[in-house]
């Protein structure tokens, strides 16, 4: 076989799909059973979640343009992969996200404005991971996949897998992108997860772009094809199909919780927006490509399906519009009201126990600050 016969990492071959591009339900012998219990109301909830997260994206992007946020990374286009997989999680499961998993955060019950404290520059992670089983965002690409694997090794040691008790058996999911698969840490995480049979699901959103670099710069083969080399079963899913994303994640979570070890999921999707608000995709990709994927918008697909089922009444859509408007208002007012931390707060929580160097530097800093006539740290203090 010549290398030209090898399918590249952008092939759409072998993607699990339950809704086709036109929003038609297509049967799948393996995964139909995993979505059979999803009634119209649940599907509408998924649709609602996708719409709300997109509205959040829009509001946050606008706030960045207004100078209210230092930076923002949109989830635009990846809502189905995130909402579908997020809906498969149980309350006791634990998520280790990268930094674009706003949709997953929403399914875990976080107030999305908590995510924006990081992007506004007032803290590095404004929520307690214990509250929703949702770890802090990690900006060093791929580092958190090892934390997820270690956490899963702890779950194993706690005996919280394979008990058969659905409220006790626990899975861990880590989200990362196509670029991250080149990182040593991700490969080490796959090694540690495999040899320990750790209850962790590797959820790779292949959005085809690592800032400006296409997935072809990361791999010669589909990313999911790598996992079996580690001894980890893998699946490629159409990441713009919320039903299929839910189904493959549910299967992987059940495997993990039952003691069957890790799974690698490649959700093939598209980053419809820029990498972040600092990025300019027009420098490296074509309008034609963006237009191609705009026609494959994951929200449109579920909407079409629900319309075909006659399950998207106007009353629901009107209510959702109002809810999205309310969310937008909540995001705007909450972000604008977020205060500036006191300068001396930089010395807090460096260590869990007192550290004489930090203490003495803080003492010096506070004395220096108070040596000025106007020693308040409120608005207008900008030394």
Closest approach, Cβ 274 to another protein, in A, equals: 25
271 is catalytic: yes
Q: Hey, which bits of 166-280 come out as E strands?
A: 172-177, 200-206, 209-210, 213-214, 234-238, 263-268
Catalytic residue among 106, 144, 275, 301: 275
The values of phi and psi at residue 216, to 5°, are: -65, -15
Evaluated on CA atoms 338, 77, 206, 246, the torsion sign reads positive
Q: Which is nearer to another protein, 87 or 226 (CB)?
A: 226
Q: Which is nearer to another protein, 158 or 321 (CB)?
A: 158
Closest approach, Cβ 359 to another protein, in A, equals: 9
CB–CB of 327/55 below 8 Å? Answer: yes
284 is catalytic: yes
Q: Which is nearer to another protein, 23 or 125 (CB)?
A: 125
Q: Which is nearer to another protein, 59 or 185 (CB)?
A: 185
CB–CB of 215/172 below 8 Å? Answer: no
Q: Which positions touch another protein (CB under 8 A)?
A: 96, 123-126, 128-130, 135-136, 138, 140, 143, 145-155, 157-158, 184-185, 188-189, 191-192, 195, 348-353, 355-358
Catalytic residue among 284, 292, 294, 368: 284
Distance of alpha carbon 355 from the chain centroid: 35
Closest approach, Cβ 125 to another protein, in A, equals: 5
CA distances from 342 to 90, 220, 381 (A): 38, 50, 10
CB–CB of 268/78 below 8 Å? Answer: no
Catalytic residue among 54, 144, 271, 301: 271
Closest approach, Cβ 225 to another protein, in A, equals: 22
Q: Among all residues, which ones are annotated catalytic?
A: 271, 275, 284
């Amino acid at each position: 076989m010549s290398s030209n016969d090898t399918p590249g990492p952008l092939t759409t071959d072998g993607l699990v799909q339950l809704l086709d591009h036109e929003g038609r339900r297509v049967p799948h012998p393996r995964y139909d059973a995993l979505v059979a219990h999803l009634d119209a109301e649940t599907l509408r909830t998924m649709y609602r979640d996708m719409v709300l997260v997109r509205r959040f994206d829009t509001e946050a992007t606008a706030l960045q343009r207004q100078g209210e946020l230092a930076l923002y990374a949109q989830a635009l286009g990846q809502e189905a992969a995130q909402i579908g997989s997020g809906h498969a999680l149980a309350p006791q499961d634990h998520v280790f996200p990268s930094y674009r998993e706003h949709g997953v955060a929403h399914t875990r019950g976080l107030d999305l404005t908590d995510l924006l404290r990081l992007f506004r520059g007032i803290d590095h992670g404004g929520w307690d991971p214990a509250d929703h089983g949702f770890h802090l965002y990690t900006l060093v690409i791929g580092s958190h996949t090892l934390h997820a694997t270690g956490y899963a090794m702890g779950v194993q040691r706690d005996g919280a897998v394979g008990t058969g008790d659905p409220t006790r058996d626990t899975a861990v999911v880590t989200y990362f992108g196509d670029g991250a698969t080149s990182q040593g840490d991700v490969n080490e995480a796959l090694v540690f997860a495999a040899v320990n049979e750790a209850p962790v699901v590797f959820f790779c959103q292949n959005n085809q772009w690592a800032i400006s670099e296409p997935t072809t710069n990361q791999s010669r083969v589909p990313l999911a094809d790598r996992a079996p080399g580690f001894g980890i079963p893998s699946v490629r899913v159409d990441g713009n199909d919320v039903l299929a994303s839910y189904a493959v994640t549910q299967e992987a979570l059940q495997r993990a919780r039952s003691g069957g070890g890790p799974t690698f999921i490649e959700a093939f999707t598209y980053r419809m927006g820029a990498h972040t608000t600092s990025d300019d995709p027009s420098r490296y990709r074509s309008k034609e490509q963006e237009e191609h994927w705009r026609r494959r918008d994951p929200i449109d697909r579920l909407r079409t399906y629900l319309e075909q089922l006659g399950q998207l009444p106007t009353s629901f859509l009107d209510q959702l519009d109002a809810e999205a408007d309310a969310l937008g208002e909540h995001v705007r007012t909450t972000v604008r009201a977020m205060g500036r931390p006191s300068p001396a707060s930089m010395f807090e929580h460096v260590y869990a126990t007192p550290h004489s160097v930090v203490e003495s530097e803080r003492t010096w800093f506070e004395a220096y600050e108070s040596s000025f006539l106007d020693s308040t740290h409120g608005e207008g203090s900008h030394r």
